[in-house]
């Protein structure tokens, strides 16, 4: 059995190279695709639920909120900043994980764990939930590429049917990673 050394939260506190962060993002997308392929929805994708091995390969953990999509109820679960707006209406599906990945990807691209500035005013969970329901999302940081920002904004779209399929997200991140490798070796 592989040994998972730390969670993504701890790793990002120490800063990681861009290519390593994109590889981690790919691992998370692949893990979500696997879960969704089994008909499961994780419902709590966040930094502390992504563990890394010694080679910084990621695994999704904490399947405590994971449920078969057909058994979804109106239960409100998850971590506030990562929660899709539709979780508050009780009608949701696997796209809540796509939304949460968009937020996770913001942290991955920011290479840090600081709460997005747009949420600084949120002094409680209730205020944070209210902000999310009203469409508040993390801000674009200056070092985000257009490609990374586009992935984030598509994933956290308020309308679940407008969110991309994870296969598309995977392809986009692979393109970013390949471009990074090409420019690094050139």
Residue 102 tokens read as 């968009």
Q: Give the C-alpha separation, 171 to 176, whole Å.
A: 9
Q: Give the C-alpha separation, 63 to 51, whole Å.
A: 13
Strands (E), the chain: 4-7, 40-41, 50-53, 58-60, 67-68
- Annotated active-site residue 44? The verdict is yes
Contact 5, 61 (CB under 8 A): no
- Buried-exposed string 50-74: b where 16+ CB fall within 10 A, e elsewhere: bbbeeebebebeeeeebbeeeebee
HSE, CB side, 13 Å, CA atoms: give it for residue 37: 8
CA 75 to chain CA centroid, nearest Å: 20
Q: How many helices and strands (H and E) does the chain possess?
A: 6, 5
Catalytic residue, chosen from 44, 126, 157, 171, is 44
Residue 157 tokens read as 């779209």
Q: Could you give the residue numbers annotated as active site?
A: 44
């Amino acid at each position: 059995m592989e040994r998972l050394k730390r969670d993504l939260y701890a790793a990002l506190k120490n800063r990681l190279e861009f290519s390593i962060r994109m590889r981690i993002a790919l691992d998370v997308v692949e893990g979500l695709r696997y879960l969704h392929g089994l008909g499961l929805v994780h419902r709590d994708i966040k930094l502390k639920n992504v563990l890394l091995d010694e080679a910084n390969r990621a695994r999704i953990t904490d399947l405590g909120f994971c449920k078969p999509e057909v058994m979804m109820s109106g239960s409100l679960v998850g971590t506030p900043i990562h929660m899709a707006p539709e979780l508050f209406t009780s009608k949701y599906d696997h796209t809540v994980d796509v939304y949460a990945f968009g937020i996770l990807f913001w942290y991955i691209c920011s290479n840090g764990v600081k709460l997005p500035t747009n949420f600084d005013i949120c002094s409680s969970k209730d205020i944070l939930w209210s902000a999310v329901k009203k469409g508040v999302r993390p801000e674009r940081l200056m070092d985000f590429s257009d490609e990374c920002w586009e992935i984030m904004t598509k994933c956290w779209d308020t309308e679940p049917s407008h969110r991309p399929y994870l296969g598309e997200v995977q392809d986009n991140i692979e393109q970013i990673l390949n471009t990074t490798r090409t420019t690094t070796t050139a």
